[in-house]
Amino acid sequence: MTISYLCTLPLPDHWFDELARRVPGIEIVRAETGAEVPPETLGRIELLHTGDWFPEPAAVPALRGVQLDTSGVDHVRGTPLWASGVPIATLGGIAPVPMAEYATMAILELAHRMPRIERHRAERSWPSNAERLATLTPRQLAGATVGIVGYGRIGREISRLAEVLGMRVLGVSRSGARQQGGEKFDTGRRAAADDPAELFPIGRLDEVLAQSDFLVVVVPLTEETRGLIGERELALLPAGAYVVNIARGGIVDETALLAGLRAGRIAGVALDVFDEEPLGPDSLWWSELGALITPHVAGLAPQYHAQTLDLVVENVTRLAERRPLVNEVDRAAGY
């Protein structure tokens, strides 16, 4: 097939060699973000593979598809390319397993009081027997309820692992309906048809919050989800609940979350994303007891190169065959 493909990502040489082997006839143009691409070359590009470089539509008249290097699209909305109507595909489906493992790790660490234990380690203080019993006894996970807000490929994988711990799973999505496959890339280990979680539409979020001993937020950031979990929603959680945010900053009200943590209504939080990133050295979160803080690492995928190659090959093939891209963004939904 003959497809002109431009990549602005610093992928290794062997990745492009394998792409050329698997897609004979493809024209590969490499230009890491900021590098100049001759106008005549840019003018014939049909598939753009990028993370954060979005040219003016007039500069890419032959463009028929964009493959993002991100699962989220909040940084693309508002660009001329978004408004152009050119199909855009996300990297979604690469990270369900590592993100679910992170969420499970966070649940386990919070339940086993690891933020408090790490404070003892940092201070080189060994708690008394009475203090250990009072402050370091784990929270029982078997029988506890985890509410997952943003229930798709990642949510199903979190559900699979939570089940092993004996947890009850409530999932929240836009419609509350079980996904029926579709044109989505998915490296997760559980099919939608095999998922026993109880699902709710977003309009019934309050019901889920009221039952969630652990709340995991993994919903995309859109105009509808910005500020979704605010002071009112956090107050609906059972006393002593835990909050895990692996979605995007701006979805959970950080000020209200901190207030709930300090008041003792929220027993602990795990935050991988923040309103402002990188998190500043003066942020209160760094030293907050009861908080597990990580630098936006939940979605890092160990098999990133191989899985991304599979996705790009699939979409190059689809483009050549005039078929819809896998993982194509629903602009109306915003993700």
What letter represents residue 54's amino acid? F
What letter represents residue 190's amino acid? R
Cα torsion 229, 230, 232, 237: sign: positive
Q: Is 75 labeled as catalytic in the residue annotation?
A: no
| Interhelix angle 114-123/96-111, nearest 10 degrees | 70
Q: How many angstroms separate the Cα of 184 from the Cα of each of 74, 143, 305?
A: 19, 32, 18
> 32, 231, 276, 277: which one is catalytic?
277
- Distance in angstroms between the alpha carbons of the first and the last residue of the chain: 30
Residue (of 141, 150, 155) closest to 190 by Cα position = 155
Residue (of 248, 249, 236, 240) closest to 268 by Cα position = 240
Contact predicate 216/246, CB 8 Å: yes
DSSP state of 202: G
Cα torsion 75, 80, 83, 86: sign: negative
> 113, 156, 248, 318: which one is catalytic?
248
What does the radius of gyration of the chain's CA atoms come to, in whole angstroms? 22
> 77, 132, 296, 331: which one is catalytic?
296
C-alpha–C-alpha distance, residues 45 and 103, integer Å:
39
Q: Is 248 labeled as catalytic in the residue annotation?
A: yes
What letter represents residue 243's amino acid? V
Q: Is 277 labeled as catalytic in the residue annotation?
A: yes
Q: How many angstroms separate the Cα of 30 from the Cα of each of 15, 208, 238, 291, 335?
A: 12, 47, 52, 42, 27
C-alpha–C-alpha distance, residues 43 and 23, integer Å:
21
Length of the chain: 335
By annotation, the residues acting in catalysis are 248, 277, 296
